């Protein structure tokens, strides 16, 4: 039986980031256990966007920090972080005024969001229909990165260091000592002894919790997305968001396809089903053509689904939880990928020193047990 | 196929992926259908992989020295053919419902 300082369950953006920062902080024995291949869960199915335009202080701070880390990671592990901005379209005076206030909060925390006129919005993205807009919010530091490049970048980086990354290894049991501390993690292929376990299993986090007798407040919701045939790169640079059109988000990938989706319908129930639905295809098509009329001539090439692993208040669950040495890093409710570097650094700091300057307290999982729900973070793109 | 010809052979016509690129990806460890697809983009063009994926299946079986039946095809995604957004969106001019 191998003994490891830290076992991380889940080889998505969260688990890989935590392993990266642990190794930076000098923790030698780290294993990441991924039941499929890196990025095969929600990371590889996400909308690729990274933004700091949130509406609460903690999340803005986490994401401002994350964008700085994304820049450095891109250089160090070799992928592209394309800072092409997030452009929020506003359709009423009321919405515009609300976002003016959010902009002030973002500016006060160092996020350089600007309010644009409809004409200025169009200069950033020529095919937009701006005739019904009252304005737009734009943060040029927001952007996007290709998830597969990110996870394979981490994988390559780990091949030269101490982190052991195992794919196609499923965890089957977690054994606790009599006094409640962690003892070992059993996989379908080998057993590890460890005192620190990180649950970064995304939509499958509840199954890992169950192995420790925990009922985790995380539920998987199907979230669908589409990609069109490729167009000339540079046609839609920013991630365009329209709350009016079912919280639609869309942008262009580096290969030219238009990728995006719309918000989860309110009557959607938690499910592990990732079947695509025609209803979604209709909703996304109506939203996209209302935002960019010429998209009606574009053809949908692929349509897929992943999970928004959702917590009761729509905010992540980050920190040590119930079993000593068990750290939860899940429940992002749709913005885990973008936050991954801050979560990685913060959780690695908690594990190594017990404290972090990042506002992880705000996401303390025990808040749910105490009934202290946070305001839901804006959940799209 | 002769060694010299490898690399000149286009396997995926939509994405211009050659046999050499696929073999290279397999030897770098992208050795399942799912991974070859993600790494090289083979099968993600307008034909949806109809032409190329059975060929990739053969290349994978050959390079890994296993039976063809042991190589799973990736999950098929909707739509079956590229679908113009205006057909799905309904009548022109109709915006979000």
Residue A114 has pLDDT above 60, yes or no: yes
- C-alpha A16: how far from its chain's center? 13
- How many Cα atoms sit within 13 Å of A45 on the Cβ side? 23
Residue B89 has pLDDT above 60, yes or no: yes
Q: Under an 8 A CB cutoff, do B85 and A228 touch?
A: yes
Q: Kindly state the average pLDDT of the residues A252-272.
A: 93
How is residue B55 written in tokens?
């060929």
Whole-angstrom distance, CA of residue A111 vs CA of residue A140: 9
- What is the CATH code for B3-89? 1.10.10.1100
In angstroms, the Cα distances linking B55 to A218, B1, B12, B72 are 41, 13, 9, 12
> CA of A227, closest CA in chain B: separation in Å?
10
Residues of B in contact with A44 (CB under 8 A): 38
pLDDT tens digits for A214-235? Answer: 999 999 999 999 999 999 999 9
Q: Under an 8 A CB cutoff, do A301 and B82 touch?
A: yes
Q: CA dihedral in degrees (B30, B31, B35, B37; nearest 10)?
A: 100
pLDDT score recorded for residue A343: 98
Q: Under an 8 A CB cutoff, do A299 and B95 touch?
A: no
pLDDT score recorded for residue B94: 45
pLDDT score recorded for residue B93: 43
* Confidence grade of residue A373 (pLDDT, cut at 50, 70, 90): confident
Sheet bearing A171-176, strands edge to edge = A2-4, A190-194, A182-187, A171-176
- What are the residues whose beta carbons fall under 8 Å from the beta carbon of B90, sequence distance 6 or more? A282, A286
Whole-angstrom distance, CA of residue A238 vs CA of residue A330: 27
Q: Kindly state the average pLDDT of the residues B30-54.
A: 92
Q: Kindly state the average pLDDT of the residues A274-295.
A: 96
Residue B96 has pLDDT above 90, yes or no: no
Q: Under an 8 A CB cutoff, do B82 and A289 touch?
A: no
* Count of Cβ atoms closer than 10 Å to residue A36 Cβ: 16
Per the CB < 8 A criterion, the answer to whether A273 and A220 are in contact is no
Helix (H, G, I), strand (E, B) or coil at A226: strand
Helix (H, G, I), strand (E, B) or coil at A120: helix
Which is higher by pLDDT, A162 or A200?
A200
How is residue A376 written in tokens?
């839901």
pLDDT score recorded for residue A236: 97
Residues of B in contact with A246 (CB under 8 A): 96
Which among B89, B90, B92, B93 is the top mutation candidate for probing chain A, defined by the most A β-carbons within 10 Å of its own β-carbon? B89
- C-alpha B42: how far from its chain's center? 3
Q: Under an 8 A CB cutoff, do B86 and A289 touch?
A: yes
Residues of A in contact with B80 (CB under 8 A): none
Residues of A in contact with B79 (CB under 8 A): 281, 300, 303
Q: Kindly state the average pLDDT of the residues A281-287.
A: 96
Domains of chain A (ranges, CATH numbers): 2-45+148-218+313-370 (3.50.50.60), 84-142+220-308 (3.30.9.10)
Which among B74, B75, B88 is the top mutation candidate for probing chain A, defined by the most A β-carbons within 10 Å of its own β-carbon? B88
Query: Where do the structural domains in chain B lie, given as residue ranges?
Result: 3-89
How is residue A309 written in tokens?
């692993």
Percent over 90 (pLDDT), chain A: 94
Q: Under an 8 A CB cutoff, do B95 and A290 touch?
A: yes
Q: Under an 8 A CB cutoff, do A244 and B96 touch?
A: yes
pLDDT tens digits for B18-30? Answer: 999 999 999 999 9
Whole-angstrom distance, CA of residue A30 vs CA of residue A38: 16
For strand A143-145 and strand A164-166, is the pairing parallel, antiparallel, or unpaired? Answer: unpaired
Chain B residue closest in CA terms to A147: B38
pLDDT score recorded for residue B90: 84
- C-alpha B90: how far from its chain's center? 30
pLDDT score recorded for residue B7: 55
Show the CA angle centred on residue A306, arms to residues A301 and A312, nearest 5°: 145
Q: Under an 8 A CB cutoff, do B46 and A229 touch?
A: yes
Sheet bearing A326-330, strands edge to edge = A164-166, A30-33, A6-9, A197-199, A326-330, A317-320
Helix (H, G, I), strand (E, B) or coil at A249: strand
ipTM of the complex: 0.84
């Amino acid at each position: 039986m191998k003994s490891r300082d830290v076992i991380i369950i889940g080889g998505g953006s969260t688990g890989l980031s935590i392993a990266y920062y642990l190794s930076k902080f000098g923790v030698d024995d780290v294993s990441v256990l991924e039941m499929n291949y890196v990025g095969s869960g929600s990371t590889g199915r996400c909308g690729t966007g990274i933004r700091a335009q949130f509406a609460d202080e903690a999340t803005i701070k986490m994401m401002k920090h994350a964008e700085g880390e994304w820049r450095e990671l891109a250089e160090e592990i070799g992928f592209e972080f394309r800072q092409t901005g997030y452009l929020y379209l506003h359709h009423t005076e009321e919405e515009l005024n609300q976002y003016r206030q959010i902009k002030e909060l973002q500016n006060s925390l160092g996020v350089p969001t600007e309010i644009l006129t409809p004409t200025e919005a169009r200069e950033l993205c020529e095919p937009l229909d701006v005739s019904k807009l009252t304005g737009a919010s734009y943060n040029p530091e927001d952007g996007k990165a290709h998830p597969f490049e990110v996870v394979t970048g981490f994988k390559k980086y780990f091949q030269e260091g101490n982190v052991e990354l195992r794919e196609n290894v499923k965890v089957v049991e977690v054994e606790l000592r009599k006094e409640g501390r962690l003892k070992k993690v059993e996989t379908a292929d080998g057993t590890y002894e460890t005192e620190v376990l990180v649950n970064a299993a995304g939509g499958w986090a509840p199954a890992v919790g169950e192995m420790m007798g925990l009922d985790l407040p995380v539920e998987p919701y199907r979230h669908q997305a589409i990609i069109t045939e490729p167009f000339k790169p540079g046609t839609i640079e920013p991630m365009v968001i329209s709350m009016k059109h079912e919280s639609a988000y869309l942008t262009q990938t580096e290969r030219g396809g238009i990728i995006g989706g719309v918000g989860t319908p309110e009557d959607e129930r938690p499910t592990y089903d990732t079947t695509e639905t025609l209803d979604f295809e209709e909703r996304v098509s109506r939203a996209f053509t209302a935002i960019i009329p010429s998209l009606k001539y574009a053809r949908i090439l692929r349509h897929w689904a992943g999970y928004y692993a959702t917590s009761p208040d729509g905010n992540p669950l980050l920190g040590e939880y119930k079993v000593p040495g068990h750290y939860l890093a899940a429940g992002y409710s749709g913005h885990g990928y973008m936050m991954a570097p801050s979560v990685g650094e913060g959780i690695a700091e908690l594990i190594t020193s017990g404290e972090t300057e990042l506002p992880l307290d705000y996401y303390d999982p025990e808040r749910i047990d105490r009934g202290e729900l946070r305001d839901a973070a804006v959940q799209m793109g | 196929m002769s060694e010299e010809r490898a690399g000149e052979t286009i396997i995926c016509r939509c994405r211009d992926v050659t046999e050499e690129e696929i073999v290279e990806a397999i030897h770098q460890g992208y050795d399942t259908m799912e991974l070859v697809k993600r790494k090289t983009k083979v099968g993600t063009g307008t034909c949806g992989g109809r032409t190329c994926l059975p060929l990739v299946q053969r290349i994978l079986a050959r390079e890994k020295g296993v039976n063809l039946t042991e190589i799973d095809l990736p999950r098929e995604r909707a739509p079956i053919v590229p679908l113009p957004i205006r057909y799905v969106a309904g009548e022109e001019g109709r915006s979000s419902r």
